A and B are shown apart, each in its own frame.
Chain A
Amino acid sequence: MLLSLEQVTRLYGIVIGVNDVTLTLPEGAHGILGPNGAGKSTLLNLITGQLRPSKGKLTVLGHSPRDPALLRRLGYLPGSEGMYADVSAIEWVTYLTQLQGFRASDARQRACRAMERVQLADVQDRKISTFSRGMRQRTRLAQAIAHEPELLILDEAFSGLDPIARHTMTTLLQQWIAEGRSLLIASHVLHEIESLTRSFLLISGGRLLASGSTEEISRLLTSVPATVELTLNEPRKLAAQLVASGLIDSVRVEADRLHATTGSGRELAQFLAEQSVNGALEIFEVRSSDDSLQDVFHSLMKLHRGIA
């Protein structure tokens, strides 16, 4: 078992960082998704033992989080910088590998290998202060993988990377997963994680909203109300038909636009396609405003609160 959380709660004074999370994860790659301030970093800090839960119990790879035996098996890339700008990249990675208990020469060897892996071997002797953001991020990844951990934990690993650097990072992590190692990656951007894993944890407001594969989460979301915006030739006529069909919860017409809220997205899409094919309506544009991750979370939050 990779991770087991039992009613884990973390309080910062009166603010709840993580709220009563219970979950178990098998070994493999998992993505933690959530908007900013959702509690992703708090959850990762609980897993790496940086924070202690105010309540509940968690184990990682069968160990308690501050167990040195576990920390040797973890590689962690926190969301914050945490680098010394006045040293070379190789010195920094070697230093942090030494803290894993390797002798200086072994640590240097491993650091060189890690720098090669993140494709920074040719610039490894340059000071970190001269690095671009993408290079810094890859150096930080190098320190997390230099000791060949079993579980790699990444917090916003793609943050600030340009498309090329993102591709490099994605390829690297895909190789990592293909080698049979475990990965926990937190992000607030869905497509960053989609290319790495099909297993997601959705958290918001410190609560675990949903967990499962992309398909499972999509299926779950079809039962959550969504807002659809249409631009067409006869919005009032379509509004009447939609009300009569019972597919929508509410409807509003503005000039040539129609705004509808529905809990049956799939059926509504089918109905509109039929109307369009029959030639009864000319639909120029269909837009769902609920396509952002933020809205997905919003919908899930409403579901949790029993509003939906």
Chain B
Amino acid sequence: MPIHSTGYRPWNETRVAPSRRWLAITTTGVQRAWKSLWLKRLLLAALFPLVFFSIPIFFFEQSGRDPQSWTMFERAMRGMTRGTPMASILDGVPSDPTPEQFQTVRHSVWSFLLLTMLRNTQAFLMVILVGIVAPPLISQDLRTRAYLIYFSRPIDRWEYILGKFGVVAFFLLLISTGPALLLYLVGLLLSPSLSVFWMTWDLPLRILVASACLIIPTTLGALAISSMTLESRYAAFSWFAIWLMGHVAYSSLTAIPTFQAQSRREVYQPGWELLTSPYQILGAVQSYVFGFQQSNQWVWPAILLLLAITVGSLILLFRRVAAPMRA
């Protein structure tokens, strides 16, 4: 009779690649965040701008076939762009544009509408969304010392950070990139022919780049704040305080020059002041990505600042997450 060993036998099957383990952290983080009713409301609210901005696209495409509609659209567009650096979009376009002139202006109009949606509504929703999702992601693990359990598993710091990054990035994609790409799709469907795609093919790419400019620094910044405290509410407070203080600083610095410029019927181009507000920094870079503010000399400092925030946040995150492991 053979004698069988009933002792311990290690598991020798294959496991998923280490490069995919961060996905487990992201998936679980998304599922946990999804339980928030406020988050669901916010995601629903993020779809309204899509409907709102579809209306001007509809009228724009309609005006290509109807000169009267063009006049109405032009008036509405000039109202929307008044006082902004984009006020000159329709300059040089006659009141009865030829199909060629109309095709030329389509790219600018769509870019403007996509940028306006990303900047005005989605960026505002982004601040609230990140303020709900990001603060507990790392601070909770530090408070409950869950990192002891995390790092007793074969995962590295970068996988942990990437996993947490993925949670916030997923929701930001849903509220910014998703609606922007859908708006582009709506534009294509409302246009007279799908061949319009060949004239606007770069816009989806610009949406992706502009989204990356929004998602990467903000998410890493929010995670870095979360890693600096054991209390999620302090992290949330700091997050909102940064945006609010930036907005107050920028508004205070530009209020008088803007008023003076308006009294001269001119558009005030902010200079270094835009670097005081995270919202303005993101706005300047996203405008640049969509082909506006090309001559603004403060765009490159804004890009560099976003890069600095990204790198600084990453360094801080690695240090904070590794703090218990540092010799």
- Closest A-B pairs by Cβ, 7 of them: A101-B15, A180-B7, A68-B154, A80-B145, A76-B152, A52-B327, A98-B24
Question: How far is A82 from B147 in the complex, measured between Cα atoms in Å?
Answer: 7
Provide the residues of chain A in CB contact with B148, threshold 8 Å: 45, 48, 50, 76, 78, 80, 82
Asked whether B25 is an interface residue with its Cβ less than 8 Å from the other chain, the reply is yes
Q: Total number of A-B contacts with CB less than 8 angstroms?
A: 103
Asked whether A103 is an interface residue with its Cβ less than 8 Å from the other chain, the reply is yes
Provide the residues of chain B in CB contact with A86, threshold 8 Å: 32, 35
Asked whether B325 is an interface residue with its Cβ less than 8 Å from the other chain, the reply is yes
Question: How far is A134 from B24 in the complex, measured between Cα atoms in Å?
Answer: 27
Question: How far is A96 from B146 in the complex, measured between Cα atoms in Å?
Answer: 11
Contact flag A52-B326 (CB < 8 Å), given A73-B10, A76-B148: yes
Query: Could you name 11 residue pairs across A and B whose Cβ atoms are closer than 8 Å?
Result: A48-B152, A49-B325, A50-B325, A73-B10, A78-B148, A81-B145, A83-B146, A84-B32, A98-B24, A103-B16, A180-B7
Could you list which residues of chain B lie within 8 angstroms of chain A, going by C-beta atoms? 6-8, 10-11, 15-16, 18, 21, 24-25, 28, 31-32, 35, 140-141, 144-155, 324-327
Pairwise interchain contact B7-A179, C-beta atoms closer than 8 A: yes
Asked whether A131 is an interface residue with its Cβ less than 8 Å from the other chain, the reply is no
Produce 1/0 per residue, A170-187, CB < 8 A to B: 000000000111000000
Pairwise interchain contact B8-A68, C-beta atoms closer than 8 A: no
The prevalent SS among residues of B at the interface is: loop
Contact flag A96-B16 (CB < 8 Å), given A101-B21, A181-B8: no
Minimal Cβ-Cβ distance residue in A for B159: A99
Pairwise interchain contact A150-B8, C-beta atoms closer than 8 A: yes
The prevalent SS among residues of A at the interface is: loop
A: contact size bracket: 35 or more
B163 to chain A, nearest CB (A): 9
A241 to chain B, nearest CB (A): 57
Pairwise interchain contact A71-B154, C-beta atoms closer than 8 A: yes
Pairwise interchain contact A68-B144, C-beta atoms closer than 8 A: no
Asked whether A74 is an interface residue with its Cβ less than 8 Å from the other chain, the reply is yes
Within 8 Å by CB of A100, from B10, B15, B32, lies B15
A154-173 contacts to B, CB under 8 A, are none
Provide the residues of chain A in CB contact with B8, threshold 8 Å: 150, 179-181
Pairwise interchain contact A83-B28, C-beta atoms closer than 8 A: no
Asked whether A143 is an interface residue with its Cβ less than 8 Å from the other chain, the reply is yes
Question: How far is A147 from B21 in the complex, measured between Cα atoms in Å?
Answer: 15
Pairwise interchain contact A101-B10, C-beta atoms closer than 8 A: no
Pairwise interchain contact B325-A78, C-beta atoms closer than 8 A: no
Asked whether A54 is an interface residue with its Cβ less than 8 Å from the other chain, the reply is yes
Pairwise interchain contact A52-B28, C-beta atoms closer than 8 A: no
Could you list which residues of chain A lie within 8 angstroms of chain B, going by C-beta atoms? 45, 48-54, 68-69, 71-76, 78, 80-84, 86-87, 91, 95-96, 98-104, 143, 147-148, 150, 153, 179-181
Provide the residues of chain B in CB contact with A95, threshold 8 Å: 24, 28
Provide the residues of chain B in CB contact with A102, threshold 8 Å: 15-16
Pairwise interchain contact B326-A96, C-beta atoms closer than 8 A: no
Question: How far is A153 from B32 in the complex, measured between Cα atoms in Å?
Answer: 28
Residue among B21, B140, B144, B149 having the largest count of chain A Cβ atoms under 10 Å: B149
Pairwise interchain contact A52-B10, C-beta atoms closer than 8 A: no
Residue among B150, B152, B327 having the largest count of chain A Cβ atoms under 10 Å: B152
Question: How far is A73 from B11 in the complex, measured between Cα atoms in Å?
Answer: 9
Within 8 Å by CB of B149, from A51, A78, A98, lies A78
Minimal Cβ-Cβ distance residue in A for B28: A95
Provide the residues of chain A in CB contact with B16, threshold 8 Å: 101-103
Provide the residues of chain B in CB contact with A52, threshold 8 Å: 325-327
Minimal Cβ-Cβ distance residue in B for A47: B152
Provide the residues of chain A in CB contact with B35, threshold 8 Å: 86
Question: How far is A45 from B32 in the complex, measured between Cα atoms in Å?
Answer: 28
Pairwise interchain contact A51-B152, C-beta atoms closer than 8 A: no
Minimal Cβ-Cβ distance residue in B for A10: B327
Within 8 Å by CB of B144, from A76, A82, A101, lies A82
Pairwise interchain contact A99-B32, C-beta atoms closer than 8 A: no
A36 to chain B, nearest CB (A): 17
